[in-house]
Amino acid sequence: MFLSESDLQAIWLTVQLASIVTVLLLLLGTPVAWWLARTRCWLKGPVGAVLALPLVLPPSVLGFYLLLAMGPHGPLGHLTKLLGFGPQPFTFWGLVLASVAYSMPFMVQPLQNAFESIGDRPLEVAATLGASPLDAFFTVAVPLALPGFLTASILTFAHTVGEFGVVLMIGGNLPGITRVASVQIYDHVEALEYGQAHQLAAVMVFFSFLVLLVLYAWRPQTQKAG
Amino acid sequence: MKQIEARFRVDWPGFFLDVDLALPGRGVTALFGHSGSGKTTLLRCIAGLERARDGFLSFRGEVWQDRSTWIPAHNRSLGYVFQEASLFQHLTVLGNLRYGMKRSASGKKISLDHAVELLGIGHLLDRKPASLSGGERQRVGIARALAVSPNLLLMDEPLAALDLKRKQEILPYLERLHGELSIPVLYVSHSPDEVARLADHLVVMDGGRVLANGPLADTLTRLDLPIRLGDEAGTILEATIGAIDDDWHLARLDFRGGSLWIRDHDLPVGRKTRVWVLARDVSLANEQPRESSIQNVLRGQIDAIGVDEHPGLALVRVRVGDSLLMSRVSKRAMSLLNAEVGREIWVMVKSVALAD
């Protein structure tokens, strides 16, 4: 294997982080996206805007505020202390928390689009066929939005893998705990280990290409099915 | 038997509905009106898809909506056929049919098999909706609503999205339903043709209000209504094929009060049918016309005279035996004929449309 042990450790950590964040966001983002897609409440606009902030803010700004919030004097820090976890910055779970916030729009927006494109009709049909709203959600909305779920999951996973600024701000650079692949490359470059940086960077390029290829190759089929 | 009672008042921006209806608990009731007349909204209120404030709805004595009661759509025993079939794309035809059946609480009066047989879709069960034609999809949509074994079937212009050919494909199935179903059907339509073929009871709506509500023939001959039906004003005659004239390719229609010769449609003698006689195809004369191109001449008596939508026109209701016909004539002609209620008159029927 041409990658060093620390490189492999960084990649493994990255995969763990991205997987956990994707699963958490699937659980968290689905109801949020459903609410955004169906509500006529005036809060829809403000909530949608707040959730989309990570798309436009520099990661350092986001990381800075998350750091403050998770610190011993921040609201999240108080909460984690109360729950007996202690302050979370510079821990793996702190990184998970920050990534959930950072990658939220990549889960919510494709899902919201998918739910919106289903429209009211299939759910009305389900209701006239005796399905309760929850029943209709799982048996009609979710299957019809399946392409949206796949897109959202892939984007979330890939975006979390590509995270750098927020990780530096919130997680630092602790091997095996917070040193993900993007940070490891940064380290290599700082240490002028261009060869190793090349290898890891190439893995990232290849992975990103693969993800996008799957995404784009899949699109036409999903449209046909819809 | 009035088994459906519905009172709704809706005053949304740009939309108004104010109805107080008692509808029969059996047969097909057509909710007829132009688009925007509120008929679809009324149907959606009955289904529970729309919630009118201060509405009241009871079905067979069971209150579905009043001030303190709201039975959600999924707990109402009804089948709903939408204008577009709206099949679940992710399920096969069979999956679509089973979806409602599995969730149905009521008895299996109409089983899945029966619905499949009634709509003739047995060969489509394994197909996905995307591979079906428009007509096939709508047949599956109707079967899916029936497979729930509903106590009430609601149909919202099930043929409106289809072209003429597909309509002709589905109408016979709807007529079978009419004959075989024991549950009441509410059928929304803006097509007089569909109403004539399918309905037993007619509710005419306009601008969110009910203009008329009664048995089909009675409602059609009400003189205060045809104005709203425009060119389609006319009457329905229940008739039987009495004889066939092979030489001239004609068929004789016997109705209560007389008979009419029409083009032979290959219907056997003895077959019951409905014909739609438009007011504009009926003219009146004081003298019995001879050697006229109009072969159908009947003797009748003027029953009532009503105003028409144009100031130069009048609608005349003529009693022929036990049946009523409508005639649209100009006011000048009325004056020439000395037409008045009670006067005996000759009625010439230019053409009739077979409704089924």
Q: Is A119 a domain residue? A: yes
Residue-level pLDDT at B106: 60
Three-state secondary structure along A23-61? HHHHHHHHHHHHHHHHCCCCCHHHHHHHHHHHHHCCHHH
- Contact criterion met (CB < 8 Å) for A129 and B144: yes
User: How would residue B230 be classed by pLDDT, with cut points 50, 70 and 90?
Assistant: low
User: How would residue A226 be classed by pLDDT, with cut points 50, 70 and 90?
Assistant: very low
- Contact criterion met (CB < 8 Å) for B90 and A143: yes
**Is A162 part of the contact surface with chain B (CB cutoff 8 Å)?**
no
B32 with B189: CB under 8 angstroms? yes
Could you tell me the CATH number of the domain that includes residue A215? 1.10.3720.10
A90 with A173: CB under 8 angstroms? no
**Is A140 part of the contact surface with chain B (CB cutoff 8 Å)?**
yes
**Section A2-25 average pLDDT:** 91
- Contact criterion met (CB < 8 Å) for A139 and B99: yes
User: Given CA atoms B210, B212, B216, B221 in this order, what sign does their dihedral have?
Assistant: negative
Which of residues A215 and A206 earns the better pLDDT score?
A206
Residues B293-347 have pLDDT tens digits of 888 999 999 988 888 778 888 889 999 988 889 899 998 988 888 888 889 999 9
What's at A129, amino acid-wise?
L
**Section B48-75 average pLDDT:** 92
Residue-level pLDDT at A165: 87
Residues of B in contact with A148 (CB under 8 A): none
Check residue B281 and give left, alpha or beta (phi > 0: left; psi -120 to 50: alpha).
alpha
Average pLDDT, chain A: 89
DSSP B166-223: HHHHHHHHHHHHHHH--S-EEEEES-HHHHHHH-SEEEEEETTEEEEEEEHHHHHT-T
CA distance B29 to chain A (A): 20
Average pLDDT, chain B: 87
CA distance A134 to chain B (A): 11
Mutate to test the interface with A, among B80, B90, B96, B101 (most CBs of A within 10 A): B90
Q: Which of B95-109, B113-127, B277-291, B303-317 has the lowest mean pLDDT?
A: B95-109
Q: Which tokens sit at A38?
A: 């169906």
**Is A122 part of the contact surface with chain B (CB cutoff 8 Å)?**
yes
Question: Model pTM?
Answer: 0.80
User: Given CA atoms B91, B95, B97, B103 in this order, what sign does their dihedral have?
Assistant: negative
The closest alpha carbon to A14, from A149, A169, A153, A185, belongs to A185
- Mapped onto helix, strand or coil, the DSSP state of residue A104 is helix
DSSP B114-175: HHHHHHT-GGGTTS-GGGS-HHHHHHHHHHHHHTT--SEEEEE-TTTTS-HHHHHHHHHHHH
Instruction: Give the range of the structural domain holding residue A173, as residue numbers without chain letter.
Output: 5-38+58-225
Rg for chain A (alpha carbons), in Å? 20
Fold of B2-220: Rossmann fold (3.40.50)
Q: Quick one: DSSP state of residue B37? A: S
Residue-level pLDDT at A126: 96
**Is A131 part of the contact surface with chain B (CB cutoff 8 Å)?**
yes
B237 with B255: CB under 8 angstroms? yes
Interface A-B, measured as beta-carbon pairs within 8 A, has a size of 65
pLDDT at A222 over 70: no
What's at B111, amino acid-wise?
S
Cα nearest neighbour of A130 on chain B: B74
pLDDT at B109 over 70: no
- Mapped onto helix, strand or coil, the DSSP state of residue B343 is coil
**Section A29-47 average pLDDT:** 94
Which among B75, B90, B99 has the least Cβ separation from residue A144?
B90
Report the CATH architecture of B234-354: Beta Barrel (2.40)
User: How would residue B237 be classed by pLDDT, with cut points 50, 70 and 90?
Assistant: confident
Determine the Cα–Cα distance for residues B19 and A131; give it in Å rounded to an integer.
29
Mutate to test the interface with B, among A125, A135, A223 (most CBs of B within 10 A): A125
The closest alpha carbon to A111, from A57, A31, A41, belongs to A31
**Section A214-222 average pLDDT:** 68
Cα nearest neighbour of B82 on chain A: A125
Residues of A in contact with B72 (CB under 8 A): 127, 132
Residues A123-179 have pLDDT tens digits of 999 999 999 999 999 999 999 999 999 999 999 999 999 888 888 888 888 888 888
**Section B111-124 average pLDDT:** 88
A140 with B88: CB under 8 angstroms? yes
Residues A40-49 have pLDDT tens digits of 899 999 999 9
- Contact criterion met (CB < 8 Å) for B99 and A126: yes
Strands B344-349 and B282-285: antiparallel
Residue located via tokens 């990232």: A204
Determine the Cα–Cα distance for residues A194 and B194; give it in Å rounded to an integer.
79
CA distance A213 to chain B (A): 25
The closest alpha carbon to B354, from B270, B268, B264, belongs to B264
The closest alpha carbon to B60, from B26, B10, B92, belongs to B26
Residues of A in contact with B86 (CB under 8 A): 121-122, 124-125
- Contact criterion met (CB < 8 Å) for B73 and A124: yes
**Section B210-222 average pLDDT:** 84
**pLDDT above 70 coverage of chain B, percent:** 96
Which among B73, B88, B130 has the least Cβ separation from residue A128?
B73
User: How would residue A225 be classed by pLDDT, with cut points 50, 70 and 90?
Assistant: very low
For B270-308, letters b (16+ CB in 10 Å) and e give eeebbbbbbbbbbbbeeeeeeeeeeebbbebebbebeeb
Residue-level pLDDT at B97: 93
- Contact criterion met (CB < 8 Å) for A130 and B100: yes
Cα nearest neighbour of B81 on chain A: A125
**Section B205-215 average pLDDT:** 89
Q: Which long-range contacts (CB under 8 A, 24 or more apart) does B176-182 make?
A: B176/B118, B177/B118, B177/B142, B177/B146, B177/B153, B178/B27, B178/B28, B180/B118, B181/B110, B181/B153, B182/B26, B182/B109
Q: Quick one: DSSP state of residue B289? A: P
User: How would residue B229 be classed by pLDDT, with cut points 50, 70 and 90?
Assistant: low
User: Given CA atoms A151, A153, A158, A159 in this order, what sign does their dihedral have?
Assistant: positive
Q: Which of A60-64, A135-139, A189-193, B350-354 has the lowest mean pLDDT?
A: B350-354
Which among A127, A225, A226 has the least Cβ separation from residue B74?
A127
Residue located via tokens 């204008």: B83
Q: Which of A83-87, B27-31, B47-51, B208-212 has the lowest mean pLDDT?
A: A83-87
Determine the Cα–Cα distance for residues B64 and B297; give it in Å rounded to an integer.
52
User: Given CA atoms B16, B20, B24, B25 in this order, what sign does their dihedral have?
Assistant: positive
**Is A123 part of the contact surface with chain B (CB cutoff 8 Å)?**
no
Q: Which tokens sit at B32?
A: 């007829």
Determine the Cα–Cα distance for residues B213 and B205; give it in Å rounded to an integer.
9
Residue located via tokens 């399905």: A131
**Section A200-222 average pLDDT:** 81
Determine the Cα–Cα distance for residues B31 and A214; give it in Å rounded to an integer.
51
Domain ranges for chain B: 2-220, 234-354
Which among B47, B89, B148 has the least Cβ separation from residue A130?
B148
Q: Is A141 a domain residue? A: yes
Determine the Cα–Cα distance for residues B93 and A103; give it in Å rounded to an integer.
39
Residues of B in contact with A129 (CB under 8 A): 74, 99-100, 103, 144-145, 148
User: How would residue B217 be classed by pLDDT, with cut points 50, 70 and 90?
Assistant: confident
Residues of B in contact with A139 (CB under 8 A): 99
Neighbours of B245 (CB within 10 A): 11
**Section A199-217 average pLDDT:** 88
Prediction ipTM score = 0.80
Q: Which of A52-61, B105-114, B301-310 has the lowest mean pLDDT?
A: B105-114
User: How would residue A86 be classed by pLDDT, with cut points 50, 70 and 90?
Assistant: confident
Q: Is A107 a domain residue? A: yes
**Section B279-300 average pLDDT:** 88
User: What is the number of structural domains in chain A?
Assistant: 1
Residues of A in contact with B142 (CB under 8 A): none
User: How would residue B87 be classed by pLDDT, with cut points 50, 70 and 90?
Assistant: very high
User: How would residue B218 be classed by pLDDT, with cut points 50, 70 and 90?
Assistant: confident
**Is A143 part of the contact surface with chain B (CB cutoff 8 Å)?**
yes
Residue-level pLDDT at A135: 95
CA distance A156 to chain B (A): 25
Residues B240-255 have pLDDT tens digits of 999 998 898 899 999 9
- Contact criterion met (CB < 8 Å) for A226 and B74: no
